[in-house]
Structure 1
Amino acid sequence: MAEQKTPSIIAKTMEDVMHESMMPYSEFVILDRALPRVEDGLKPVQRRILYSMSELGITPDKPYRKSARIVGDCMGKFHPHGDSSIYGAMVRMAQPFSMGACLVDGHGNFGSVDGDSPAAMRYTEARLTPLALELLRDIDKNTVKWSCNFDDTLMEPDMLPGRFPNLLVNGASGIAVGLSTNIPPHNLMESIDGVIAYIDNPRIKLSDMMKIIKGPDFPTGGFVIGGEELVKAYETGKGKVIMRAKLHIENGDNDKKLIVIDELPYQVNKAQLLESILKAREEKKGVLTGITEITDESDRGGMRAVIKVKRDNDPKPIIDALMKYTNLSTSFAINMVAIADGKPQQMGLLDIIAYYVNYQREVVLRRTRYELDAAKEREHILEGLVIAVRNIDEVIKIIKASASTSEARENLRKRFDLSERQAQAILDLRLARLTHLEVYKLEKELADVRALITRLTAIVASRKLQMDLVKAELAQIRKAYRENRKSVMLKATADYVVPSEDDEKPVEDYIIAVNANNNIKRMFVKNFTMATKDFTENSSRNEICSAIVKANSLERVYCFTNLGNCYKLDSESIPEGKWREKGVPLKKVVPEALDGERIVFMQTVADNLPKGNLLFYTRAGMVKRSEWKEYGVVKSAFAAIKLKEGDEVIAIEHERKNCTLMFVTKSGMCLNADMSDIPVQGRIAAGVKGIQLSDGDDCLFIGQINGDGEVVLVSDRGYSKRVLVSQIDVMARYRKGVKIVDFNKKDNGTSLAFVSYVTEPYKIVLVFEDDYLSSYSTEALSIENRTHSGRPIIKGRARIKEGLIYNDKVTN
């Protein structure tokens, strides 16, 4: 009989079993599943999804790809933990109501704030967002550490380069074994500003940092009440903030009040919230019985949930009760735990930023070393190629005399003392590279590579240069992906106020400006007066304004355009901006505006229209005089002048007394016309002819003058002058006029690029064809007679495209 084996029994204490089984499991869950890394702010599954999408080439400039393909590729290569967990993580990265800044651009049903589930992965598509590429940027330049994947067949990054502080921007939440994390999202611009401030001053105090990073910025908006609890959370890594919905009170039908929900606290399900409000009303919880109806009016334009209140009920106590019984007010428990130095750590705000800054310096250093090695290798090859092309006849002779490629390579090495790589590069050289132009290009490339090596060597050797590079690249990301805060920070619950239509609104004073990019912007008067309004070499067209008016929140702005239309805008409907910001196009404020339509004149109007007449001037030399009362039209958009096809309004003015009308054309003709015979016409009249134009000529300037001052002229060839208006006699309207400038006959095709009228000095900005901007005072231009061709204003630049008046004065 075969010997029967006795079953083996392993005797172990529970303490050993727990240590050998539970500890490895918990370590795996903590490090490889539930917690993000401080460097890139990503959990392993998120990092693997983004890297898989990058490997598949699903970048923002490529078409969407099926989500199932992305999930399958990620699961098969890097994350063998089930498709549902991968797809769930990918869906969250595509939800704008979950992420501070989405990393996946989803196409299809990716769920909703009402708690609707996303469609199955076979129905949806996705690709990377531009911001996700900033997390992956330079990953191919040895910037991060790599490890084998689960079956040792591929390499995967331990972390991504993470060129912006993603842990702060998108936050994180996760539950591990014995540990959890709950990091709120923050504003991208504030987070980058905070990192830059830390680089500038590593000893910055938390109180100073919180002036920059004011608090969490949730993608769903609402109000965040921080106070001492937020300070504690940022100091220790643990604390809480209160989140409240953004509400306002409207007047409904039959004197009823409407409580309107505009924004919700983060991660609150809208459908469940409205259901809980209905349930609280049915349970007759105090004043909530005053609610008559709840409707969800949300659409593509945004969230709008309406709670209708009985006629005689005050909505304020109802709102207080809703805050108490429903998720219109909820809390966010901050617990900032992330993996740093290979282990989970609870960190304050400054700790997170410190780890991130050190990591970014390491990324820049590793990238610079990689680029330096590549540059040195290229320099080595180029040195060999330059030797070859300088001795090309001898090189060809050696190659022809050699019996084989290997013999040719050895002969070249011996003759010119080359390395094997250099000799091979010479053998691979195409005959087309032997032209004089190509030889020059090789020598220039060698000089450029040596300059690059010098710069990269300096960066490797200097911690300061490394930090400067981190700052500069962060600033570029901030500029490219700037987005204002969505959540409003409050210090205490007493600061939370629900506005009502019945509240008396404070009257705010604004400055409204139209800049040289034809964009419109609104700013507070105090910000306008504080702004540095002076042209410097760093100034842009955003700061060169053609019209600046003052308006209060009760006034409307009449905007007259080059296409002859007038749009009446409420001052507060114009998006707020800063002096140096670009503003928004007219079409964004007025959807019915036509393509290419721009504002040429603005006037603020309160209750009554201004007195007097308006003068309209067109490029074809037409002039129209109309009374202001003609424009008291009820419509918010209407025609202000009738224009012929191809014509446009170039300027509009208030009529002044004792003036004549100056016309200056592109070809240099000038007419100082008497205005007495210009009739007063109706709103949609076309006006009368002001100057007789030659074929192909246009009016560049039309404006009222009073006999004093000078006409400023700049040609597209860069010649400038001022002409005293007293030298130009007054004539009848609709004449050809006289020459105001005599162009140099050598410069065929010369024309005027800029004309204006000056009585007190101001700055003009010239725009060259290469978009270079240069400013000059009108006083710097010499006074000449009419026939003079002008004096050169600048030499050696491209032709002048246009001239602009640098205006920082409010016109009314």
Structure 2
Amino acid sequence: MSKIESLTLEDVMGERFSRYSRSIIQERALPDIRDGLKPVQRRILYAMNKDGNTYDKAFRKSAKSVGNVMGNFHPHGDSSIYEALVRMSQDWKVREPLIQMHGNNGSMDGDPPAAMRYTEARLSKISGEMLRDIDKDTVDWVLNFDDTEYEPTVLPSRFPNLLVNGSTGISAGYATDIPPHNLGEVIDAILYLQKHPDATLDDLMQFVKGPDFPTGAIVQGIDGIKKAYATGHGKIIVRSKTAIEPLKGNKSQIVITEIPYEVNKAQLVKRIDEIRLNKRVDGIAEVRDQSDRNGLSIVVELKRDVDSTGILNYLFKNTDLQVSYNFNMVAIDNMRPERLSLKRILVAYLKFQQEVIEKRTRFNLKKAKDRQHIVDGLIKALSILDQVIKTIRASKNRKDARDNLVKTYDFSEKQADAIVALQLYRLTNTDVTQLEKESKQLAQQIAGFEKILDNPKELNRVLARELRELAKTYRNPRRTEIQSQVQDIKISTDVLVPDEDVVVMVSHDGYIKRSSIRSYKASVTESGLKDDDYPIFMKQLNARDHLLMFTSKGNLIYRPVYEIADVKWKDTGEHISQTIGLDGDEEIIGTFAFGSLKEPGYFLIATDEGHIKQTAFSDLTPGRTYKKHAYTYEKLKDEGARVVSVKYLTEADQAKQILLISKHGLALRYTIPEVSVNGARTTGVKSMALRADDQVVNLQLVDDDSQLAIVTQRGAFKKLAVKEIPVTSRARKGVMILRELKNHPHRVVDFALINDEHQPLEIVTDRKRTHDILPAEFSLGGRYSNGSFVIDVDSEGVPTQIREKPAEITIN
């Protein structure tokens, strides 16, 4: 009667999954620490060796080898077996290929290999070292999946394959990434470790400098290598080997001759070409893959007079010309997956090879002793040859002859079998001599084998000699260059941004855009703005210029011109609040464009609450978070306070004076040096003495010949000569420039400089209506006049601003 058990799903799933995980970890995905092979790779090499499909024989169809492996040892799909076989033959994937192939075995471009019915394969010469001594009981054997024959659990691996060819794989809960290394270096380290068991990592790294990828390239970061070798986990930078070559006509080209390990060359070339097509970098003329049978060669041809180093740095940062490689040295050690240090891998391999030598020596010793026993029997038989022949002739059959020899002359059964099987031509005096010579040689061999087994030093001497011979045969120069420091990649804006002129516009409502000169010329009459919006900044700039936008609430917004939305001139553009949050009543009051972020000048900043300061350009240089956050350029004391003016002062402006006018019609003029220089997050000093209900409406830079255009809330316009306002000093009350009325007095809303009497000025009202004024049509007023009424406030709205009328841009 069957027994039904009641188990929880958790227990069943946990137990089943752990069995499944153990299976794929040990039987599929992770390499063994001793031979560095996964089961499928081991079975391929063993099966091909068993069939005599070795480097010194003719090639055979890959399909035959795959079928043999699948039928006898690896009961999985033929595609996975063929894939493993092909990988072991790809000299850009493994440092020392274990398989030689005829036919298409894939490429660095990611091309698949030809079907296995078309390709031919055989073991490479170095594969013979993996399998050498396998027939001498050096490794353990287990039955295959259908118990029809035995297969090895590990190969003798007479060279340290785990490090030399590396390994990569993913299993349940584990992954491994062991890079390839140089065979000569690894063997040198093993020989050193053999003599110095207490060797430190630094000692071993005198020999193993770092990974040695089959594709060469440059490894940067000795600290990453050291950490990886110490812990089994670390990160290095792998960089392509490149050279910048000059061409005729001030042109140059970047020639790439080695690329990082496991980078798809075709995808790399495609990515570089996409950067060229999308104009992510200005200066790439053409990308060509010139690789042939002589080696890899990718040529990036550059335009005239470009920063070739800068473009190369951009390609390093934005393509697989430079990648990071993460060590994760996991392998099966004593049936368990372990993360391994360099020393532990070398110690495990050394111990395994000592076991292989010991087992091989025991096998050879037993074989020599068995043969010596037979030879001794033959010598004895030949010394009493007549009696032996007489005994054999008197016997009934072979078995009876053997039994009679054992009984009569005290031979062992094995000796008797050898005597009975002896051929008549051997019964000569010469053969006795040969047997005695062989016996002497066997005695020497047995003594040598016993010496190896009895003396660990002798065993290590044999192992060292074999490793040195192997290194001498297969050593080859290092391909990967090791550089101790990771080089910082600095990309200048000149590389990223094309050197082209564009038209940039900032609107009153906060819309910002850039357009090509061509687009501007095609749609010059269509600004793309809403009917009640208007430009406050419009200029032809270079894409490499920098834009600083100052708001009325003390916030500074920075944008490189090339980062401004590139749209058609007739489109609206992007709103600044899409990336930076501004208050609903916050306005941009000053916009400035600069060719660099290292200007020597100062910004003059004035607030309506009566504060003023100078701030150095260098103090307003944007930080890393400029895309998401505005920068404070003025600390406002009161919540309702606003910045009314921002001016950029050059050295030439220092001779001018500051003119401030308050709402109540008080004007104060003084020199620029009276204003101290303060940092960004400061309020500044007192600009003028204001009454409790008064405030500063604007600031202008003037001289004695300047003329002012003043507008009041009642719609009056007044033209005033600056010389009417005396030069005094900062923080004073100022002089009246309006006549005070008892009923409905005039209040100044704004004032502007008249640079050209025949250039119209524009008055803007609170209804977003505009009214043009031609200053030449008005005569100069005295200090105590209120000007002429020009706007009907009832129909057009209350004036809020007076400014120069935006003109069409003159395209250079």
Q: Above 0.5 in TM-score?
A: yes
Q: Residue 471 of structure 2 aligns with which residue?
A: 478
Match of 1:239 among 221, 234, 239: 234
2:49 match: secondary structure: helix
How far is the alpha carbon of 1:48 from its aligned partner?
A: 0.5
CA distance in structure 2 between the aligned counterparts of 1:403 and 1:348, rounded to whole angstroms:
69
Q: Residue 71 of structure 1 aligns with which residue?
A: 66
Aligned amino acid, residue 251 of structure 2? K
Q: Residue 261 of structure 1 aligns with which residue?
A: 256
2:301 match: secondary structure: strand
Q: Residue 384 of structure 2 aligns with which residue?
A: 391
2:227 match: secondary structure: helix
Answer yes or no: is 1:420 the counterpart of 2:440: no
1:334 match: secondary structure: strand
How far is the alpha carbon of 1:254 from its aligned partner?
A: 3.1
Match of 1:113 among 101, 108, 113: 108
For the Cα contact (< 8 Å) 1:282–1:289, is it kept in 2?
no
Match of 1:191 among 183, 186, 190: 186
How far is the alpha carbon of 1:133 from its aligned partner?
A: 0.7
CA distance in structure 2 between the aligned counterparts of 1:270 and 1:410, rounded to whole angstroms:
75
Q: Residue 320 of structure 1 aligns with which residue?
A: 313
Answer yes or no: is 1:437 the counterpart of 2:440: no
CA distance in structure 2 between the aligned counterparts of 1:121 and 1:403, rounded to whole angstroms:
59
How far is the alpha carbon of 1:11 from its aligned partner?
A: 5.4
For the Cα contact (< 8 Å) 1:215–1:226, is it kept in 2?
no
Match of 1:40 among 15, 24, 35: 35
Q: Residue 160 of structure 1 aligns with which residue?
A: 155
**1:630-679 deviations in Å (ceiling 9; x for gaps):** xxxxxxxxxxxxxxxxxxxxxxxxxxxxxxxxxxxxxxxxxxxxxxxxxx
Describe how 1:679-758 pairs up with structure 2 within 5 A.
none
**1:241-279 deviations in Å (ceiling 9; x for gaps):** 110000112222433201000001000111100111111
1:173 match: secondary structure: strand
CA distance in structure 2 between the aligned counterparts of 1:405 and 1:326, rounded to whole angstroms:
80
CA distance in structure 2 between the aligned counterparts of 1:184 and 1:264, rounded to whole angstroms:
15
Q: Residue 368 of structure 1 aligns with which residue?
A: 361
2:453 match: secondary structure: helix
CA distance in structure 1 between the aligned counterparts of 2:135 and 2:86, rounded to whole angstroms:
26
Match of 2:170 among 175, 178, 183: 175
**1:45-93 deviations in Å (ceiling 9; x for gaps):** 0000101111111001111111111111101111111011101111100
CA distance in structure 2 between the aligned counterparts of 1:383 and 1:405, rounded to whole angstroms:
21
For the Cα contact (< 8 Å) 2:36–2:167, is it kept in 1?
yes
CA distance in structure 1 between the aligned counterparts of 2:422 and 2:235, rounded to whole angstroms:
67
**1:371-416 deviations in Å (ceiling 9; x for gaps):** 1111110011000000011222222222223343333323322332
Aligned amino acid, residue 144 of structure 1? V
Q: Residue 338 of structure 1 aligns with which residue?
A: 331
Instruction: Give the TM-score taking structure 2 as reference length.
Output: 0.59
Answer yes or no: is 1:141 the counterpart of 2:136: yes
CA distance in structure 1 between the aligned counterparts of 2:396 and 2:171, rounded to whole angstroms:
69
Match of 1:380 among 368, 373, 381: 373
Unpaired segments ≥5 residues, structure 2: 491-812
CA distance in structure 2 between the aligned counterparts of 1:273 and 1:9, rounded to whole angstroms:
60
For the Cα contact (< 8 Å) 2:108–2:264, is it kept in 1?
yes
How far is the alpha carbon of 1:496 from its aligned partner?
A: 10
Q: 1:11 to 1:424 in 2, by over 3 A?
A: closer
Q: Residue 249 of structure 1 aligns with which residue?
A: 244
Match of 1:211 among 179, 183, 206: 206
Aligned amino acid, residue 361 of structure 1? Q
CA distance in structure 2 between the aligned counterparts of 1:434 and 1:419, rounded to whole angstroms:
20
Describe how 1:577-588 pairs up with structure 2 within 5 A.
none
Match of 1:97 among 92, 98, 117: 92
Q: 1:283 to 1:12 in 2, by over 3 A?
A: farther
Answer yes or no: is 1:467 the counterpart of 2:460: yes
2:206 match: secondary structure: helix
Q: Residue 614 of structure 2 aligns with which residue?
A: none
CA distance in structure 2 between the aligned counterparts of 1:72 and 1:319, rounded to whole angstroms:
48
CA distance in structure 2 between the aligned counterparts of 1:475 and 1:226, rounded to whole angstroms:
30
1:76 match: secondary structure: helix
CA distance in structure 2 between the aligned counterparts of 1:126 and 1:269, rounded to whole angstroms:
24
How far is the alpha carbon of 1:10 from its aligned partner?
A: 7.5
Aligned amino acid, residue 241 of structure 2? K
Aligned amino acid, residue 442 of structure 1? L
Aligned residues between the structures: 489
Describe how 1:593-742 pairs up with structure 2 within 5 A.
none
How far is the alpha carbon of 1:472 from its aligned partner?
A: 1.1
Q: 1:392 to 1:204 in 2, by over 3 A?
A: same
Q: Residue 556 of structure 1 aligns with which residue?
A: none
Q: 1:253 to 1:437 in 2, by over 3 A?
A: farther
Q: 1:146 to 1:312 in 2, by over 3 A?
A: same
CA distance in structure 2 between the aligned counterparts of 1:83 and 1:402, rounded to whole angstroms:
58
Answer yes or no: is 1:130 the counterpart of 2:121: no
1:211 match: secondary structure: coil
Q: 1:418 to 1:331 in 2, by over 3 A?
A: same
Match of 2:483 among 468, 486, 490: 490
For the Cα contact (< 8 Å) 1:294–1:306, is it kept in 2?
yes
Q: Residue 18 of structure 1 aligns with which residue?
A: 13
How far is the alpha carbon of 1:437 from its aligned partner?
A: 2.1
Describe how 1:274-293 pairs up with structure 2 within 5 A.
274-285=269-280, 288-293=281-286
For the Cα contact (< 8 Å) 2:103–2:118, is it kept in 1?
yes
How far is the alpha carbon of 1:304 from its aligned partner?
A: 0.9
CA distance in structure 2 between the aligned counterparts of 1:309 and 1:300, rounded to whole angstroms:
25
How far is the alpha carbon of 1:185 from its aligned partner?
A: 0.4
For the Cα contact (< 8 Å) 1:188–1:478, is it kept in 2?
yes
Aligned amino acid, residue 182 of structure 1? D
Answer yes or no: is 1:402 the counterpart of 2:395: yes
For the Cα contact (< 8 Å) 2:313–2:489, is it kept in 1?
no
CA distance in structure 2 between the aligned counterparts of 1:175 and 1:271, rounded to whole angstroms:
25
How far is the alpha carbon of 1:439 from its aligned partner?
A: 1.5
Instruction: Give the TM-score taking structure 1 as reference length.
Output: 0.59
Q: 1:226 to 1:434 in 2, by over 3 A?
A: farther
Q: Residue 81 of structure 1 aligns with which residue?
A: 76
Match of 1:51 among 46, 53, 74: 46
CA distance in structure 2 between the aligned counterparts of 1:196 and 1:482, rounded to whole angstroms:
14
Aligned amino acid, residue 42 of structure 2? R
Q: 1:495 to 1:356 in 2, by over 3 A?
A: farther
How far is the alpha carbon of 1:344 from its aligned partner?
A: 0.5
Question: RMSD over aligned Cα, in angstroms?
Answer: 1.8
2:338 match: secondary structure: strand
CA distance in structure 1 between the aligned counterparts of 2:158 and 2:396, rounded to whole angstroms:
54
CA distance in structure 2 between the aligned counterparts of 1:108 and 1:184, rounded to whole angstroms:
27
For the Cα contact (< 8 Å) 2:181–2:212, is it kept in 1?
yes
Largest Rg, 1 or 2: 2
How far is the alpha carbon of 1:449 from its aligned partner?
A: 0.5
1:254 match: secondary structure: coil
State the identity %: 49
Q: Residue 594 of structure 1 aligns with which residue?
A: none
2:168 match: secondary structure: strand
Aligned amino acid, residue 305 of structure 1? I
How far is the alpha carbon of 1:9 from its aligned partner?
A: 9.7
